[in-house]
């Protein structure tokens, strides 16, 4: 199930030694010779996991759609730990917290998948699909893992 992949992705990027995924910055740090370490998606900044998930223009676009959808004032984050720390301090109910965590973990996983598709299988994922995939997979996460009984229609209208 797709939501399990986003769950595993979140667990992986939460590990204390952090960014192990093969971003350009990491590959460079591991000694690989790369001709170009710029972000694949924007060609503007050095590609790191944090850039891909939080500050790339595509990430900013997706985050802003999600902010509007969840309808709470979520600040901008530079990395996963900043997001986690904000999430822990956020005063939502435990159900709202679970839902928001599922949404952000899914958003992150989808952005990373999109980056990989861009690299290995261009055209496989379309930018216009990302927001819908996030809403669908995070919904499945909440239904299957969180035993949440919110309806699909309610989820689309008011997920938190």
Compute the least distance from the CB of residue 39 to Zn ion, in Å.
Answer: 3
Cβ proximity of 113 and 45 under 8 Å: no
Q: Which residue, 13 or 136, is less far from Zn ion as judged by CB? A: 13
**Would you state the torsion angle of the CA atoms of residues 17, 78, 106, 131, taken in this order, to the nearest 10 degrees?**
-160
| Distances 65 to 32, 33, 100, 107 between C-alpha atoms, Å | 36, 36, 14, 11
Q: Give the containing element (helix H, strand E) for 142.
A: helix 127-144
Cβ proximity of 19 and 48 under 8 Å: yes
Compute the least distance from the CB of residue 108 to Zn ion, in Å.
Answer: 14
Site size toward Zn ion, by CB under 5 A:
4
Q: Which residue, 7 or 47, is less far from Zn ion as judged by CB? A: 47
Structure tokens, 124: 């496989």
User: Is residue 56 a contact point for Zn ion (CB under 5 A)?
Assistant: yes
User: Is residue 39 a contact point for Zn ion (CB under 5 A)?
Assistant: yes
Q: Which residue, 50 or 106, is less far from Zn ion as judged by CB? A: 50
- Nearest in space to 113 (alpha carbons), one of 4, 6, 3: 6
User: Is residue 25 a contact point for Zn ion (CB under 5 A)?
Assistant: no
Q: Which of 2, 37, 42, 117 binds Zn ion (CB under 5 A)?
A: 42
Structure tokens, 160: 């938190």
Piece in contact with Zn ion (CB under 5 A), picked from 1-9, 36-44, 60-68, 84-92: 36-44
Compute the least distance from the CB of residue 112 to Zn ion, in Å.
Answer: 12
Restricting to residues 73-112, which ones interact with Zn ion according to CB under 5 A?
none
Q: Which of 7, 13, 41, 49 binds Zn ion (CB under 5 A)?
A: 41
- 3-class SS of residue 87: helix
Binding residues for Zn ion (CB under 5 A): 39, 41-42, 56
């Amino acid at each position: 199930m797709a939501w399990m992949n986003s769950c595993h992705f979140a667990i992986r990027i939460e590990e204390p030694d952090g960014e192990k995924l093969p971003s350009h910055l990491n590959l460079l740090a591991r000694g690989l010779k790369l001709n170009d370490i710029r972000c694949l998606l924007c060609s503007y900044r050095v590609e790191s996991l944090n850039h891909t998930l939080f500050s790339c223009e595509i990430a900013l676009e997706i985050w802003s759609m999600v902010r509007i959808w969840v309808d709470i004032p979520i600040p901008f984050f530079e990395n996963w730990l900043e997001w986690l720390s904000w999430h822990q301090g956020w005063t939502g109910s435990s159900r709202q917290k679970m839902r928001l965590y599922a949404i952000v973990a899914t958003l992150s996983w989808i952005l990373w998948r999109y980056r990989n598709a861009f690299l290995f299988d261009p055209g496989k994922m379309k930018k216009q699909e990302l927001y819908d995939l996030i809403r669908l997979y995070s919904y499945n996460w909440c239904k299957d893992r969180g035993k949440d009984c919110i309806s699909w229609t309610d989820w689309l209208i008011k997920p938190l």
